[in-house]
Structure 1
């Protein structure tokens, strides 16, 4: 066999290898199956519990004569006014509506399982008022998983969040516990916003809210110094022992850190191995990652839903229990294994042919003097 014949043979073998791999991929793609997660029962329980939470909050708003927002297309009770005296920053209405969906409870169960949390574990949670529905989704997930959750909740909220001054998020959670819907109340409450002390809030409304929180018997702390605030929060979280995960919902400075550091943290489950160096400007997300503790970060809702195949601000939600969050994609192993083995064999044959050619070339070289 001459050199040109060998080259043609190698090309034919490589084309055959490509065809085999293409066929294996086609075979595998046509054998894809959706299988329920191993914790689907907890997911369904969390979604049902979150539905009860939404219904109860709607009732609280009716009692307080708080009108339902016109932006709350699904009438969940989780959408607040655009701007009030406790609004701290801007927020996207599409993201707020997306979180006000019962399947967010199922998503939080999945995120916690993917972070390594199991029944009996202890989870710390930092809640701003910006995403009240997602806060309640975390609470519903932990309760359904029989996980101990230690929430520190804040009053301040971005636009369309828990911005009703008459019913802040800590008060929502407190009433849900009083009514027996949820079992765990805030371990502590802060005002949130600038310096975590609500510096930008209207003073009159701030004082009224503080009085109501005190009358409810909630623990309030106001610590404007960033590092001291973090130390107090960690002391509350770890009072009963080490935590297995930290959950951050919204953009509270104590979770995100000072400046723009929090933007690059990512969404969903954060791996401690990807942690950035901790500095004096680092928030609790970075600090817990730096200690090797997994974090569930919930802020960029559009990115989060895209990663889990969920709709973003749809006109109509999927039927209960049918969304992608309840399922895992399973690919058949047989075509993948056979395709890789066949491709490896052909590549080995190509190498054998090329070595033969190299040996032939050396034999044909004239002897040197």
Structure 2
């Protein structure tokens, strides 16, 4: 029967809705059960519990980074350095000045504050694992003086996984980084090796001046001399480059010469160096994390990272501390130094099983009473009779029995 025939036969009542509900169950009971079930569902969904998910390697990397951060802090305090609460609320002594002679460009204060977190080393370990890096592998690192705390996180991750890094640095730094002329990243790296926190094999193979065109273009001659002096006083050869293309070529040559016996398992970029990642344009193509291919819908600038990808080497881009923190449940610009073990890598949210079980039992009882009220009442009455039944001893005699002598 089609719809038109049905309407002709039932002109006054074209549609009928049929439903069933128990006659002996009141609407109040149905509403109460529904509201209780919804309340329980919301409680289970919005009141999860945090369960620890310990990982020895993640914890070890965070602890190593924490040790390095504290060593730099103690060293700067011993040198008489004062941390300004407005710039460095956590008192890390890793926030540089807003401007100095070796400052290459503007920088984000909030991002630099967020980067000072030992748990970022655990994030780098996780990324290296995702890239397929195994203990004992060789890796290439291109780091900038702009992000000393991120450099520490990368070094700590590499040391924890017992990797063999080949490191090329850029000396200059953006605002609020390692841009104090008396304590640049090349100085921090040597201090951390001298303290035994990182091994001697973690010494940089070479360093460029950094800044515009990776050769401090536009900076004064005294500034260039300060950058060169910072590298040479720490025993790091300085790259003499003509432009970005020349810098990329020289860096690739250093990496290739150092990996003659073992290919690189990954290339790690820290910051936004033009030669390493392609500057701002390169970071727009490669977000923070692991990358195995170049994006097809974007024009990738020529840089070390893009050349590594053409050789089948995955890249790990350690950049944008705020994005990393948001992705892994870390604090943004914390007022105090974060403790080791904070973040989603060290724990995960799950449902409270006892609460979920109680909700299931409550719903089952409510449904049984609603659908089978008579059966439920009979069951309750039977249970009450069993509870009230007198306990008759097997040795007792009936009252009707008379003693016969």
TM range (shorter): 0.7 to 0.9
Alignment of 1:281-320 (within 5 A): 281-316=301-336, 319-320=339-340
Runs of at least 5 residues in structure 1 that lack an aligned partner in the other structure: 13-24, 333-369
Check conservation: 1:69, 1:81, Cα contact below 8 A: no
Structure 2 partner of 1:15? none
- With normalisation by structure 1, the TM-score equals 0.75
Superimposed CA distance per residue, residues 15-48 of structure 1 (whole angstroms, 9 cap, x where no aligned partner): xxxxxxxxxx9999699874626xx211111111
Question: Aligned partners of 2:147, 2:279: CA distance in 1, in Å?
Answer: 20
Q: 2:243 aligns with which of 222, 225, 229?
A: 225
Check conservation: 2:184, 2:230, Cα contact below 8 A: no
- With normalisation by structure 2, the TM-score equals 0.69
Deviation at 1:116, TM superposition (A): 1.8
Structure 1 partner of 2:121? 105
Superimposed CA distance per residue, residues 120-157 of structure 1 (whole angstroms, 9 cap, x where no aligned partner): 11111111111100001100111011111222111111
1:185 corresponds to 2:200: no
RMSD: 3.2
Structure 1 or 2: more helix by fraction: 1
Alignment of 1:1-369 (within 5 A): 34=51, 36=53, 40-70=55-85, 71-183=87-199, 184-238=202-256, 239-240=258-259, 241-257=262-278, 260-272=281-293, 274=295, 281-316=301-336, 319-327=339-347
Deviation at 1:275, TM superposition (A): 5.8
Question: Aligned partners of 1:278, 1:128: CA distance in 2, in Å?
Answer: 23
Check conservation: 1:47, 1:103, Cα contact below 8 A: yes
Question: Aligned partners of 2:318, 2:223: CA distance in 1, in Å?
Answer: 28
In structure 1, the residue corresponding to 2:231 is in which secondary structure?
Answer: helix
Deviation at 1:65, TM superposition (A): 3.6
In structure 2, the residue corresponding to 1:195 is in which secondary structure?
Answer: coil
Give the paired residue count.
314
Question: Aligned partners of 1:33, 1:284: CA distance in 2, in Å?
Answer: 41
Asked which structure has the greater CA Rg, the reply is: 2
